[in-house]
Structure 1
Amino acid sequence: MRARGADWLAKLLLALGWLLLVGLQASQAANVTVVQESGVVREAENESEVDEEAENYSDVPENETPAEPEEEVQNKTVVKEVEFGMCTVTCGVGIREVILTNGCPGGESKCIVRVEECRGPVDCGWGKPISENLNSVRLSCVHISPENRFKYLWKLLKSDQQPVILSNDSAVLDIQRELHPMAFECDTLDNNEIVASIKFTVYTTSELQMRRTIRPDTDAVLVFVLTIGVIICIFVIFVLIFIIINWTAVKSFWGAKASATEIHSELSSVKYKDSTSLDQSPTDMPGHEDEALSEWNE
């Protein structure tokens, strides 16, 4: 009996252990399924969100582009317009301003961007000295700052001869006056290229004094002529203004004058007719001679 009881007890314990093992396996399987289901749900939600974003993106027209910041758009839309100022010289080398007419900072209508070099014809003709007195004269070549950027070639000009190259290579030349006038020429070179050429005449002391005495007379005549011309122009302007302001009175005056002229012309014509009729002889009257002849024949 005891053996049978022990066997039954062992079988019962084995059955309980098997049931416990089966229950544990079932619970683990349930947990795994729950985890898997939650993962599937999250993946489904992500896929739905992606689909919604794709639909929203597809609703945007193709010709529209993503919005850009306003500053970048303004910088891209502003078209900068540039114009150039007048060159400081009409020949040789000078400078000019580069002016921005659109896109200036602060809403200004125009602003200077930079200053650049400008060039004109090489030959500058005859120039005037920087300064002069009765003993010496100072001449200057055509150049812009910086002065040492260019090379200068001074030459003494002689008629029917080759020019004499001087040793001075600076932009300024000091000359003492001689007993006869002299002519000088200066070539301004940039990278061994002549960019400007100017000539000077250095007069003698007596010639300079003579020119200084003659110049005031010519200046006085020029000033007198200009003054008379300005006065005449002002008078004409005032007359025109008076006529415009008093146009009705002027019109009536000229009308009365024209009518008086017409009456006078008519009277003169009537007097002329009367005088011609009195001066005319009877023989000049047509038909009288023929009538007399016909009566005589009868």
Structure 2
Amino acid sequence: MAGRPALLLLLLPLLASLAAGAAIGGSAEAAEALGWRAEPAEAAAGGLNATVSTEVEFGVCTVTCGIGIREVLLTSGCPGTEAKCIVRVEECRGPVDCGWGTPISEDLACVKMPCIYIRPENRFKYVWKMLILNKTALILPNDSAIMEVCRDTHSVTFQCETQENGNIIASVKYTVYAKTEMQTKKSRRTETGQSRRTTTDAILVFCLATGIIVTVSVIFAMIFMILHWAAVKAIWKSKSGQDNQDKKLANKRSLCNME
């Protein structure tokens, strides 16, 4: 009976360590059940060092103004033998003012103009304005990313501001010409195209005629030489002989002068 208290005192530390181990095991099982996984301290430290030592390079922005996207490249630690690999794609910003834009489509009646944005387009707010010379711009009720307007009797300038959280991140302007101006421009383009076509045709005709004349002349010269080859040969020989005689006389004169 006296030895039982001593035995209990010896067993208490063992029971405490077993209880702690069971608690730790239960926590690990619960963590695995929740999808968590504990990593060794060395692995965690290695992962931290790898994160710190990685080098990141930013790709070229898809736009020179407004808002666009760019690639973020990893230059070390890529899988396999790849020197660079894409980590993610992020937004990039350029100057707000994008100047004059190009409509999506236009004809003699209407023009369709886009604002500057990236998807999803409903993330931004669009403010369309009609710019009036020496007056305050008129804000239009249209708040969509694309606006279609029909031509009037006079030209009108529109501007679209793309806003995010109350800040302007992009701005672009369009000029919608009047119907009469578009008709005049179209007629001028037609006349210019016709004049260029006429000039090109004249040059081609001149080159073709010159080529034909030169070719015919060469053919006639070859035919003449073939038909009168003997006479041509005699003329060539006589010319060669005359040249030789002239050379001899020149040599004799030079010798006489030397004497």
What TM-score do you get using the length of structure 1 for normalisation?
0.47
| Residue of structure 2 aligned with 1:124, choices 92, 98, 110 | 98
Once the two structures are TM-superposed, the CA of residue 210 in structure 1 deviates from its matched residue by 3.4
Residues 1:205 and 2:179 are matched in the alignment: yes
- What secondary structure does 2:80 align onto? helix
Residues 215 and 122 of structure 1: CA distance in aligned 2, closer, same or farther (over 3 Å): farther
Amino acid paired to 1:145: R
Residues 209 and 85 of structure 1: CA distance in aligned 2, closer, same or farther (over 3 Å): farther
Q: Deviations over 1:226-261 (max 9, x none)?
A: xxxxxxxxxxxxxxxxxxxxxxxxxxxxxxxxxxxx
Higher helix content, 1 or 2: 1
Residue 82 of structure 2 is matched in structure 1 by 108
Task: Show structure 1 runs of 5+ residues with no match.
Answer: 1-67, 225-298
Residues 1:154 and 2:128 are matched in the alignment: yes
What TM-score do you get using the length of structure 2 for normalisation?
0.53
Determine the C-alpha separation between the residues in 1 that align with 2:134 and 2:42.
75
| Residue of structure 2 aligned with 1:196, choices 162, 170, 195 | 170
Alignment of 1:228-267 (within 5 A): none
Task: Show structure 2 runs of 5+ residues with no match.
Answer: 1-40, 201-259
Amino acid paired to 2:93: R
| Residue of structure 2 aligned with 1:176, choices 131, 140, 150 | 150
Residue 119 of structure 2 is matched in structure 1 by 145
Residue 27 of structure 1 is matched in structure 2 by none
Alignment of 1:209-220 (within 5 A): 209-214=183-188, 217=192
Determine the C-alpha separation between the residues in 1 that align with 2:80 and 2:48.
14
Determine the C-alpha separation between the residues in 1 that align with 2:85 and 2:187.
48
Amino acid paired to 2:54: K
Matched length:
154
Amino acid paired to 1:200: Y
| Residue of structure 2 aligned with 1:87, choices 58, 61, 74 | 61
**Structure with the greater alpha carbon radius of gyration:** 1
Alignment of 1:10-21 (within 5 A): none
Residue 238 of structure 2 is matched in structure 1 by none
Residue 166 of structure 1 is matched in structure 2 by 140
Residue 278 of structure 1 is matched in structure 2 by none
- What secondary structure does 1:88 align onto? coil
- What secondary structure does 1:105 align onto? coil
Alignment of 1:16-95 (within 5 A): 76=49, 79-95=53-69
Amino acid paired to 1:83: E
Residues 72 and 108 of structure 1: CA distance in aligned 2, closer, same or farther (over 3 Å): farther
Q: Deviations over 1:132-173 (max 9, x none)?
A: 111000011110111001000001111111111100111000
- What secondary structure does 1:107 align onto? coil
Residue 107 of structure 2 is matched in structure 1 by 133
Determine the C-alpha separation between the residues in 1 that align with 2:47 and 2:67.
39
Once the two structures are TM-superposed, the CA of residue 77 in structure 1 deviates from its matched residue by 5.8
Q: Percent identity?
A: 53
Residues 175 and 109 of structure 1: CA distance in aligned 2, closer, same or farther (over 3 Å): same
Once the two structures are TM-superposed, the CA of residue 130 in structure 1 deviates from its matched residue by 0.9
